[in-house]
Structures are given as C-alpha cells and as structure tokens.
Amino acid sequence: MSFIAPRSRLDAMLSDIAAAARTDLAERPRRVAAALAGHLLDPGLLAERSCPCRPDRYVRHLLHADPQGGYAVVALAWRPGQMSPVHAHRTWCAFGVHRGILTEGLYRAERGGEPVQCGSALRAPGMVGHGAADPELIHRLANLGSAEALSVHVYGVPYERFGQDVNLVYAA
C-alpha cells in the first residue's frame, strides 16, 4: 500500500488556478477569479507561507510561478494606509482578498490621460476582481482599514517580468 500525502490548501488553490489559466484568453481572467474565490475564505490557505508586511509599502510574496511562464501567483501584504499606485494592467489579472478589507478606487481617463476617480468598492475577504489588459481599466487598491490585509493576485506574465509587464502606472 502506498501513502499519498494530502495536498495542502495552497496546493489545492494553485491547482484550480492552473486549470483556469489554461482556458481561452477571453475567459481566463474571470475563470481564474472564480478559482481564487473558492479558496480565499479558508483561514489556513496561507498557513504554510510567511507573508509579512513591510513598514514602508505593500509587498508581494511569490506563491507560484508557472513553469511555462504563462502566469504567476503572488500574495500582497498591506499595512493600514498602504496603497498601490493608480494603474491599469498590461496583462490579464485576477485578485481576491484573503484577510482584511481593501478599497478599490475606480478611475476613468480624462482628456490628456489624467485619471479621475469615479467610484470605489470595498473588497472584503472572499471577494474577487479581474480584468483584461486594458489601459481604460484604471484602479488603485488601498488598505484604508485599521488591520493588516492580505490579498492574492494572479497576473498573466512570468514573475521575472512583473516590473515591466504588469502595471501601467498613471499616478503614485
């Protein structure tokens, strides 16, 4: 008789993401977001990983890099008051909140390309969002609460290319 070790909760989520990331590009962001949603409320999801915050800015922690380079999964750790720049994405993406509450600021580009906030949405644990590579889908994530937050993000580029191929930054 052979012993098969049980999959970790993180491995189960990564397996679901991998299956969703192999779907048609037009459906991929939505399907990856749905794969995330099924795991975000599990309090033990990231129990095996250390994802500490930094005092000066939010920080990304690599959870998985697809061996074929099609996508990467990261956990973002947010202290109260930390926020991303105002940005759009150069690639497809999906994200969800695991712990804490994030505020997503929504923007539209005015003439001259200057982004203007046109709305916001609270993102509580278990909530997901997704988008295609589109310079018109402009947003900012922020931890405006009083507790640390942790979110999981999937981007359609290799991790080594995050700096140049993920965010199209409009304002810091």
Say if residues 101 and 149 touch (Cβ distance below 8 Å): yes
Please, which residues have CB within 8 angstroms of residue 165's CB and are 6 or more apart in sequence? 90, 91, 157
Tokens of 144: 């405006």
Report d(CA 160, CA 55) in Å as an integer: 24
Tokens of 54: 């930094």
3-state helix, strand, coil in the chain (%, to 5): 20, 40, 40
- Is 87 annotated to bind a ligand? Reply is yes
Q: Of 142, 55, 161, which Cα lies nearest the Cα of 97?
A: 142
Tokens of 159: 């991790």
Annotated binding residues for Fe cation, written as ranges, equal: 87, 89, 139
Annotated binding residues, written as ranges, equal: 87, 89, 139
